[in-house]
């Protein structure tokens, strides 16, 4: 009886060892997949600039943090701020067309007016920076038919899915803008965060380091279009 019992114990020991090894292999596989997962992407996008103080403050933060962002330019604003526009390009940020005038009545008077506004802004960006922009963001919106016209011009239309609230929240503090960015971006991948860099948005520049730190704590990576 004893001789028959010993092989049975050996078989059970082998099976148990195989089960343990199989479990360890599964854990290693899970760990490898966890490491290989693509990190959440964040696109910082700035509209309505450049301005002198705010845009340069934002550029200082981005340079210090080693982050590239995307700036949608209003060329009428840029005409007295060529150095700032040139700095955006020299520091490797993406540049897109937002508008020549940001005057809705003028821009949306007709399809032709919209396209002329885009051409004017794009031509100025090219003249100053040598960059031919291929990104576009509508001032205040746009219709599907207009989107097709702009795509036919060779532009990628960039929207957003999160905001810092610097237009939506009146007189918001840097802390409130940070909270709004965290709230509206929650659960989104990628995050395309809308911020503004025109002169009245100093709180946005102040909030930017905290916004960046929050996304970094969440393991996000920063991208430009």
CATH of the domain at 54: 3.20.20.370
Same domain, yes or no, for 177 and 191?
Answer: yes
Closest listed residue to residue 128, CA positions, set 178, 174, 87: 87
Q: What is the pLDDT of residue 120?
A: 98
Choose the weakest-confidence range: 37-41, 42-46, 150-154, 218-222: 37-41
Closest listed residue to residue 123, CA positions, set 157, 68, 76: 76
Same domain, yes or no, for 6 and 114?
Answer: no
Q: What is the pLDDT of residue 216?
A: 98
Same domain, yes or no, for 119 and 208?
Answer: yes
Q: What is the pLDDT of residue 7?
A: 54
Task: Tell me the sheet residues that pair with 44.
Answer: 193
Which alpha helices (H) appear in 37-110, and where do they start and end?
Answer: 53-65, 75-78, 82-90, 104-107
Q: What is the pLDDT of residue 22?
A: 53
Collapsing DSSP states into helix, strand and coil, what is residue 120? helix
pLDDT band at 54 (very low <50, low <70, confident <90, very high): very high
Which is more confidently placed, 145 or 141? 145
Same domain, yes or no, for 136 and 211?
Answer: yes
Q: Is the pLDDT of residue 9 over 50?
A: no
Choose the weakest-confidence range: 23-27, 72-76, 144-148: 23-27
Same domain, yes or no, for 69 and 138?
Answer: yes
Same domain, yes or no, for 117 and 194?
Answer: yes
Task: Tell me the sheet residues that pair with 166.
Answer: none
Same domain, yes or no, for 13 and 76?
Answer: no
Task: Tell me the sheet residues that pair with 194.
Answer: 45, 163
Same domain, yes or no, for 18 and 86?
Answer: no
pLDDT band at 137 (very low <50, low <70, confident <90, very high): very high
Say if strands 221-223 and 41-49 run parallel, antiparallel, or are unpaired.
Answer: parallel
Task: Tell me the sheet residues that pair with 121.
Answer: none
Same domain, yes or no, for 172 and 74?
Answer: yes
Same domain, yes or no, for 123 and 29?
Answer: no
Same domain, yes or no, for 124 and 28?
Answer: no
Which residues form the domain of 68?
41-223
> pTM for this one?
0.84
Q: What is the total count of domains within the chain?
A: 2
Q: Is the pLDDT of residue 2 over 50?
A: no
pLDDT band at 34 (very low <50, low <70, confident <90, very high): very low
Backbone angles phi, psi at 98, to 5 degrees: -110, -50
Which is more confidently placed, 26 or 48? 48
Same domain, yes or no, for 108 and 16?
Answer: no
Q: What is the mean pLDDT of residues 178-193?
A: 98
CA distance 196 to 73: 11
């Amino acid at each position: 009886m004893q001789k028959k019992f010993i092989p049975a114990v050996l078989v059970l020991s082998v099976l148990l060892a195989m089960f343990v090894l199989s479990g360890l292999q599964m854990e290693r596989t899970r760990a490898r997949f966890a490491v290989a997962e693509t990190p959440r992407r964040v696109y910082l996008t700035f509209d309505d600039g450049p301005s002198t103080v705010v845009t340069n403050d934002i550029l200082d933060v981005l340079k210090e943090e080693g982050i590239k962002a995307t700036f949608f330019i209003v060329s009428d604003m840029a005409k007295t701020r060529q150095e700032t526009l040139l700095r955006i390009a020299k520091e490797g940020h993406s540049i897109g067309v937002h508008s020549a005038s940001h005057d809705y009545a003028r821009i949306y008077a007709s399809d032709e007016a919209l396209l002329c506004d885009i051409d004017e802004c794009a031509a100025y960006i090219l003249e100053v920076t040598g960059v031919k922009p291929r990104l576009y963001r509508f001032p205040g919106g746009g219709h599907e038919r207009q989107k097709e016209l702009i795509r036919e011009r060779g532009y990628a239309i960039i929207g957003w899915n999160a905001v810092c609230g610097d237009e939506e929240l009146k007189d918001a503090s840097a802390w409130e803008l940070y909270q709004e960015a965290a709230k509206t971006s929650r659960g989104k991948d990628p995050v395309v965060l809308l911020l503004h860099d025109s002169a009245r948005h100093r709180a946005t520049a102040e909030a930017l380091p905290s916004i960046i730190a929050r996304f970094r704590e969440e393991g996000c990576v920063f991208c430009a279009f």
